[in-house]
Amino acid sequence: MTPADVVGSAVANTFRSKTRTILTVLAIFIGAFTLTITTGLGTGINRYIDQTVAEIGAEDVMTVAHQAEETTDDGPREYDPDAVTASGLGADGPGGGGTIDPITDDDLVTIAAIDGVESVEPLKQVSVDYIQHDDGTRYEVSVGSFIPGMELVLASGEQPDPDAAAAQVAIPVDFVEPLGFDSQADALGSEVAFGVADATGVEHVVTVEVVGVSEAGLIGTGNSVSPNTALTDELYAAQATGAIGQTDLYGSAVVTFDPELGETATQALKDDLDEAGFTATTVEDQIGAFQSVIDGIVLVLNAFAVIALLAAGFGIVNTLLMSVQERTREIGLMKAMGMGSGRVFGLFSTEATFIGFLGSAVGVVLGMVAGTAVGDALATTMFADLPGLTLIAFDPTSVASIIVLVMAIAFLAGTIPAGRAARQDPIESLRYE
Amino acid sequence: MSTPVLRVEGLHRAYGRGPTRFEALKGVDVEVRAGESLAIVGKSGSGKSTLMHLLALLDRPTSGSVELNGLPADRLRGRELNRVRNQTFGFVFQQFFLTPSATVLENVILPLKIAGVGRGERKRRGMAVLEQLGLADKAKNKAIDLSGGQKQRVVIARALVNDPQVIFADEPTGNLDTTTGAAVEDLLFGLNRERGITLVVVTHDEELASRCDRRITVRDGRIEASATAPTAAATAAAPGEPGRPTEGVAA
């Protein structure tokens, strides 16, 4: 028998017992469908994160802070009046919190001297009491750290200009109406006021022009206002009025480096900073933490789908064992007519693989249709405030690998009945009633 | 006399071991001459089927030798053995062994498919043999839709399609009524006579056995008697030449 004939016969045999084949295909379909959806979920979310990284665009900066002291088993920590709370790039970002030694002006000099550091700026953290427009209602708000090079996802207006001498701010889209603006366009060019309490408790009011309205993102700016450098400095100065000690202390510093030099150079820079007693975190590192959490969740979901597929694999074993049993005499006849055991094995294992292919092809196609429909529906309802997020997305490689994986599982399941068929003795088989 | 197609000597075949050991054949010598028709008769359990399986190289003897066209068959292994089985022998079974859901043509060309013959060639040869047996109009029917006699003719067509040297027929008329049985017998003996195909028939049907050139009776694993049928004495003495041109086959 030529290989083409083996495949042709196997495919024809698959449809001989239609009900049984359909039920087995259905079991595989469920597994493949689930696997397609869960993989699509991983692809969709990670793709969104990648997009977000691109939008932030601050690839050439890393946040540098002092390494956290060893706190485990040390008992209660001694109070340090100079300690500050460190934070990452965004107010909503992961990895924030924890009290660490502040970055001092001396530290800035040390960092600037490290090879590979192009420039270093302290990350000034400001917190304001309220935001207000035109004597309207006062709202609580947090102020994000706007790092040069970062790009906001804008609903309208422009990015705050880090180099502008005048103070500028972008406000989140959610604040437009509560602040009393008629529309986003109305907000642009208007002035808002920030209330800042200084160290002595005196209230300062800083007035600033709104240049942009930002969309809520998964990470990054979130629901905080994004100031430009001039505004940050102004707010920081107001906040630091009358403070003793803390003025020249920062939670962290932002180091600019050249990402073009590649991963190794970046890692070397991190290692150098590490040696000097600092922890450096790039945007990628922070996003990476997100991605590994999501990859972990997707992995668990995929594991469930694979368990379903394994169960379906036993369905294949069962179906084909019945088939071998039913076709005992046919197998005996073919062997009597000079068909080799290898070909008999090939015939049945190909049949198993084909059943796997049917189940996975149908599962993948319907999974993609359903996933796309659900993803689109959620994008306009539940995740309407996360523009650009397609919860379930597909790429050809992962879809193809699902089909290949299912076919491999089916082939493995098929080896059991195929081996039994191959070992059959022609005489015994022909006597079989 | 020319080399016999098949010759077995001192053939023993035992199943199992120890106290359950059962000897199906206890020293059998048989010669199957080219172009003859040989009946192997005996009661069920006599060992006649075992003998046929050994002759058809489907089984290996516990001891003794099997020669095919003068060459020892135990030298044949794997692929070569499969090729010999495929090209030298044809089988006709009492229970037909047709694939019910496949068409008549698909059933007939199974040996060609196993041999790896191309699609077009398979169809051509399959149709040719169905034509000879008057079944061309049934080629596209499912095997399950045929009558008993038609089924057995399809089985014969399948046995013939590879142009075999020997056809083994195991109770070929066992499942057929007298009239259709007789028609199938006519067909088999016609092939034997006109195309020189050696026919080995295993049966306990006296009438069928008596139509063969020669018969051997197996009892308790031994050849009890070997006789030449009087009517066929002339042909048995001078067997028809194999490969003689076909002049049409009686259906």
Taking only the tens place, the pLDDT of each residue in A278-324 is 888 777 777 777 778 888 888 888 888 888 888 888 988 988 898 88
B83, part of any domain: yes
Q: What are phi and psi of A65, to 5 degrees?
A: -140, 165
Residue B31's alpha-carbon distances to B4, B34, B36, B81, B85, in angstroms, are: 6, 10, 11, 20, 18
Whether B95 and chain A come into contact, CB under 8 Å, resolves to: yes
Same domain, A213 and A350: no
- In the three-class reduction of DSSP (H, G, I as helix; E, B as strand; rest coil), residue A424 is classed as coil
What is the arithmetic mean of pLDDT over B243-249? 44
A94, part of any domain: yes
Same domain, A65 and A180: yes
Question: Domain count of chain A?
Answer: 2
Same domain, A129 and A162: yes
Range among A290-299, B224-233, B236-245 rated most confident: A290-299
Whichever domain contains B213, its CATH number is 3.40.50.300
Domain range for B156 is 35-58+78-237
Same domain, A201 and A70: yes
Same domain, A231 and A314: no
How confident is the model over B63-77, as pLDDT tens digits?
A: 888 888 888 887 787
A205, part of any domain: yes
CB proximity under 8 Å: A 410-429 to B: 426-427
**Rg of chain B on CA atoms, in Å:** 18
Q: Which residue of B has its CA nearest to A336?
A: B58
CB–CB contact A427 B58 (8 Å): yes
A261, part of any domain: no
CB–CB contact B114 A426 (8 Å): no
Same domain, A315 and A233: no
Question: Residue B251: what pLDDT?
Answer: 40
B92, part of any domain: yes
Q: Which residue of B has its CA nearest to A18?
A: B101
Same domain, A83 and A160: yes
- Between CA A280 and CA A61 the distance in angstroms is 10
How confident is the model over A142-198, as pLDDT tens digits?
A: 887 666 666 777 778 888 887 888 888 888 888 888 888 888 888 888 888 888 888
Please say if the pLDDT value at position B82 is more than 80.
Answer: yes
Same domain, A7 and A128: no
Q: Which residues of B touch A333 (CB under 8 A)?
A: 91, 97, 110
Which letter, b or e, does each residue of A388-421 get, where b requires 16 or more Cβ atoms within 10 Å of its Cβ?
ebbbbbbeeebbeebbebbbebbbbbbbbbbebb
Domain range for A71 is 61-256
CB neighbours of residue A116 within 10 Å? 15
A176, part of any domain: yes
Task: Kindly state the tokens that stand for A356.
Answer: 């796997």
B247, part of any domain: no
- Between CA A175 and CA A186 the distance in angstroms is 12
As a whole-number percent, the residues of chain B with pLDDT over 70 amount to 90
Asked if A347 and A10 count as a contact pair (C-beta separation under 8 A), the reply is yes
Same domain, A172 and A210: yes
**Average pLDDT, rounded, for chain B:** 82
Please say if the pLDDT value at position A404 is more than 90.
Answer: yes
How confident is the model over B201-222, as pLDDT tens digits?
A: 998 888 888 888 888 888 888 8
Q: Which residues of A touch B81 (CB under 8 A)?
A: 338
Bridge partner residues of B11 (DSSP): B28
Same domain, A39 and A82: no
Question: Residue B244: what pLDDT?
Answer: 45
B153, part of any domain: yes
Please say if the pLDDT value at position B132 is more than 70.
Answer: yes
Question: Domain count of chain B?
Answer: 1
Least confident window among A118-122, A385-389, B2-6? A385-389
What is the arithmetic mean of pLDDT over B18-45? 85
- Between CA A111 and CA A114 the distance in angstroms is 5
Closest of A299, A161, A333 to residue A230, by C-alpha: A161
B251, part of any domain: no
Same domain, A164 and A218: yes
B116, part of any domain: yes
Question: Residue B73: what pLDDT?
Answer: 80
Q: Which residues of A touch B102 (CB under 8 A)?
A: 12
CB proximity under 8 Å: B 109-148 to A: 110-111, 113-116
A264, part of any domain: no
More confident residue, A217 or B193: B193
Question: Residue B245: what pLDDT?
Answer: 45
A374, part of any domain: yes
B156, part of any domain: yes
Same domain, A363 and A333: yes
A279, part of any domain: no
| H-helix segments, chain B | 48-55, 78-88, 104-108, 110-115, 119-132, 148-160, 178-195, 206-210, 233-237
Question: Residue B229: what pLDDT?
Answer: 59
| H-helix segments, A119-219 | 184-187
A390, part of any domain: yes
